[in-house]
Amino acid sequence: MAQWTSAVGAAQLARLLTSQQERPAGPGTRRPPAYRALADGIRLLVLEGRVPVAARLPAERELALSLSVSRTTVAAAYEALRTEGFLESRRGAGSWTAVPAGNPLPARGLEPLPPEALGSMIDLGCAALPAPEPWLTRAVQGALEELPPYAHTHGDYPAGLPALRAMLAERYTARGIPTMPEQIMVTTGAMGAMDAICHLFAGRGERIAVESPSYANILQLMREAGARLVPVAMAEGLDGWDLDRWRQVLRDAAPRLAYVVADFHNPTGALADEDQRRRLVDAARAAGTVLVVDETMSEVRLDPDLDGPAMPRPVCGFDPAGSTVITVGSASKAFWAGMRIGWVRAAPDVVRSLVAARAYADLGTPVLEQLAVNWLMSTGGWEHALGVRRGQARENRDALVAAVRRELPGWEFEVPRGGLTLWVRTGGLSGSRLAEAGERVGVRVPSGPRFGVDGAFEGYVRLPFTVGGAVADEAAVRLAAAARLVETGAAGGAEAPRTFVA
């Protein structure tokens, strides 16, 4: 019986491998043999989770043809991977990826580090900040005071607590978007909302248009749902969407869904203007595509002049009939990642369909956390907590920008006006190899290809505003050390990560 559970085609593996471009070797730099470079490339794809564990690799002859190398080179690379524990084979069953005994399974998304690793590793993988106290504690205390009446019920509210649905509808109405509670469904975080939407609208094999780059965890969720992702390149820098490309993709590919982040895009930080929002809604409506708009970053605006009317109107404001746009929001980015409360704003019939389908998924969202979010929003605590969050993120952003510019002057980026991430071009270095080298010198950073489709963005990394002060300085020092390892082609022998105390 075969031990593999999925397969990677020769053409797909070749695209992933050829995306790992490295800076040309300098004088005196020794290039590894071709088989060694190929083995290292496959190992990196496995360690990053871009090629799953237990995935059947193409036959030696097929991969050799796709890469335009000799079969001997592929055979030697496969043998090296078997020796290192990254490949297993059996006659008649082929070869499939593995991880050596004792190694953790690679994460397909951007999960935070386990607590035991935090003493020696600076985590720039997860774009999440500590809770804005004392507001978390106050919200939980307020929720406990309001809990007794709900404790006498079944506690099952598939659409969400009526009080929170009404509160969220009221907040949209205050933003100039008239909304009824029947247009709101409370979910278990934004990921729960996206999962429900994908299963309702985009069955296996359906096309979903996505920004390129886009949020890694959502891309992976869509892949695992069986969707066919159609990437649409972002405009340069912080200019937002390229509407000519969007119109062409929506017209030619006719995707069932399109997923966008209009407010402080993850990972680039771009903020789409009102004209872009209006034109994208019009293009989606004309193509018959449902436009899913992720607003999880909309309240994480860091430049003070963006308060109030300076922010563009929500995308759903350009869809008064409610037939084209579905909006996803969340408390996790604006307040705290541990507060797993998200929501969907859509037409009432869409909400009813989502609620009906939910019976086969998670049934509902925890009552106590819904009460906590409702307490925050109804008492003014939400705005106070956002003030704390924005101040913390702004200080971290400025510290990280200064540190990276000092330690890595060849890296290029634009400073976003909101959100939690910096999208950095790494001066020609491989983002995948930087991520691997970073693990060895004590800084965890996600590589650019995590945020693309089929190996795009190898020359980028994403840096979140999760550390500040001396920790930001140390993170930049470690990133510079990782960059030197990649530049020199050093394989092993890196300094051990230091325990860092802020």
Tens of pLDDT, residue by residue over 337-352, are 999 999 999 999 999 9
Identify the pLDDT of residue 3: 64
Please determine, for residue 25, whether its predicted confidence score (pLDDT) is greater than 70. no
The mean of the pLDDT values for the chain is: 88
pLDDT category at 318 given cuts 50, 70, 90 is very high
Please determine, for residue 243, whether its predicted confidence score (pLDDT) is greater than 70. yes
Q: Are 268 and 127 in contact (CB under 8 A)?
A: no
Query: Which of 10-24, 99-113, 183-197, 226-240 ranks highest by mean pLDDT?
Result: 183-197
Tens of pLDDT, residue by residue over 41-50, are 898 888 766 7
pLDDT category at 500 given cuts 50, 70, 90 is very low
User: Which has the closest alpha carbon to 298: 331, 275, 320, 252?
Assistant: 331
Identify the pLDDT of residue 7: 81
pLDDT category at 112 given cuts 50, 70, 90 is low
> Residue 397 and residue 417: Cα distance in Å, rounded?
10
Tens of pLDDT, residue by residue over 415-460, are 999 999 999 999 988 888 899 899 899 999 999 888 988 667 888 9
Please determine, for residue 102, whether its predicted confidence score (pLDDT) is greater than 70. no
Tens of pLDDT, residue by residue over 252-283, are 999 999 999 999 999 999 999 999 999 999 99
pLDDT category at 307 given cuts 50, 70, 90 is confident
Please determine, for residue 170, whether its predicted confidence score (pLDDT) is greater than 90. yes
Average of pLDDT values for 5-21? 79
Q: In degrees rounded to 5, what are phi and psi of residue 5?
A: -120, -10
Of 102-106, 329-333, 398-402, minimum mean pLDDT range: 102-106
Please determine, for residue 119, whether its predicted confidence score (pLDDT) is greater than 80. no
Identify the pLDDT of residue 184: 98
Identify the pLDDT of residue 284: 97
Q: Residue 176 has which token pair? A: 């100039």
Helix-, strand-, coil-residue percentages of the chain, each rounded to 5: 45, 15, 40
Please determine, for residue 105, whether its predicted confidence score (pLDDT) is greater than 60. no
Identify the pLDDT of residue 236: 82
> Residue 346 and residue 349: Cα distance in Å, rounded?
8
Q: Are 323 and 347 in contact (CB under 8 A)?
A: yes
Q: In degrees rounded to 5, what are phi and psi of residue 467?
A: -130, 155
Q: How many residues appear in the chain?
A: 502
Identify the pLDDT of residue 496: 38
User: Which has the closest alpha carbon to 283: 249, 239, 320?
Assistant: 249
SS (H, E, C) 196-259: HHHHHHCCCCCEEEEEECCCHHHHHHHHHCCCEEEEEEECCCCCCECHHHHHHHHHHHCCCEEE
Average of pLDDT values for 278-305? 95
Please determine, for residue 79, whether its predicted confidence score (pLDDT) is greater than 90. yes
The residue whose two tokens read 């469904």 is: 185
Please determine, for residue 166, whether its predicted confidence score (pLDDT) is greater than 60. yes
Please determine, for residue 109, whether its predicted confidence score (pLDDT) is greater than 90. no
Radius of gyration, CA atoms only, the chain: 24
User: Which has the closest alpha carbon to 131: 375, 337, 380?
Assistant: 337
Q: What is the dihedral of CA 26, 30, 31, 37, to 10 degrees?
A: -130
Tens of pLDDT, residue by residue over 57-67, are 999 999 999 99
Average of pLDDT values for 114-118? 61
CA angle 185, 189, 193 (to 5 degrees): 50
Identify the pLDDT of residue 498: 38
Of 89-93, 186-190, 371-375, 461-465, minimum mean pLDDT range: 89-93
Average of pLDDT values for 202-210? 91
pTM > 0.85: yes or no: no
